[in-house]
Structure 1
Amino acid sequence: MLKSTLGSSQNDGKFNEGEEMKKKVEILCVLDRSGSMSSIMEEAVSAFNGFVEQQKTLPAKANLTLVAFDHEYTVVYDKVKLAEVQPLKVSDVPPRGMTALNDAIGRAMANVTSKNVVMLIQTDGHENASKEYTSEAVKKLIEEKKAIGWDISFIGAGIDAFASGSAYGILRDKCLSVGKNEKG
């Protein structure tokens, strides 16, 4: 599922070939762990693990940061070399709480200074608990990061990911809607 959202369609979801493969890539994943994710968290974790395993087969040197959020923000992996990332378990990110989506996106982006970034946002809900960032501030930040080369994708489970992602300035071809059930 995640593979189909990253990179260009010309290279099957892999990082840009050629010169881009020589650059160090920062992979930034923002994973919703709010209570409403409980029915699909196992599938979300499995998809994340599959994405990581697929990226490990590529020659690009990459670090991975994973943040999980509800009404709180938790850094699960902080710039870990991709080859050293251990499989995520549901017990690492148990669903709970509200959805502070704006704060999670804003904080995650603010903590990365690299220009060669692949960012993935995965959520099943709409903002309902942020205190630091507004939707407008996040959209501005996303537009700034895209302008310097960030590749940002949005996966929505049980929501209109195209509408939600585009509200943040994420291109429609970088959005994916999936059904909200145990099969994804």
Structure 2
Amino acid sequence: MLDAIGRGINDLENSLSKLGEADRPARVLMVVVTDGQENASREFRKEQIEKMIKEKTEKDGWQFVFLSADLAAIKDAHDFGFAPSASLLYEKSGLGSKRAWRSLALRLSDYRSARLRRLMFFEEDRQHPDDPNKNKQE
């Protein structure tokens, strides 16, 4: 998972750097979707990903969203620098996956239309009973 996140950040940064200033997006949102925890990365370490996410968030205003079917992965994501409000635990089922993608689509629409300043999930999005952010005010 760390390698995928690190490569994704580097690839996106590289692609954006090739665009002219007028063609670069005003907002960048990276979504990570996983069904489990880190298990085989060789290129990137946790500390590197944490630093990359922090730099992109603070310096460039990027936003990071994390969707996972594994509670431990959600905890890891928070350690990497993903905001709890932008992390969503979903059930390992077709219905759980469908609900997660629907929530993401709704919140992305809210964000793109400027109803939200940053992408975040709400109580109504948190269907999984073990979601660590369930019943917390955003």
TM-score band, normalised by shorter chain:
0.5 to 0.7
- Report the counterpart of residue 175 of structure 1 in structure 2: 87
Spell out, residue by residue over 1:99-154, the C-alpha distance to the aligned partner (whole angstroms, 9 max, x if none).
Answer: xx000000110112347311100001111111100111111100111012001100
Displacement after TM superposition at 1:158 (Å): 3.2
Structure with greater helix percent: 2
Q: Which structure has more RCO (C-alpha within 8 Å, separation ≥ 6)?
A: 1
- Report the counterpart of residue 110 of structure 1 in structure 2: 10
1:110 corresponds to which letter in structure 2? N
Displacement after TM superposition at 1:165 (Å): 1.7
Contact 1:160 1:177 in 2 (8 A): no
Structure with greater strand percent: 1
Q: How many residues align?
A: 84
Q: How does 1:1-184 map to 2 (within 5 A)?
A: 101-113=1-13, 114=16, 116-147=27-58, 148-160=60-72, 162-184=74-96
CA RMSD after TM alignment:
1.6
Runs of 4+ in structure 1 off by over 3 angstroms are none
Contact 1:122 1:156 in 2 (8 A): yes
User: Unpaired runs of 5+ in structure 2?
Assistant: 17-25, 97-138
Q: Matches of 2:73 and 2:87 in 1, distance apart?
A: 6
Q: Matches of 1:181 and 1:159 in 2, distance apart?
A: 14
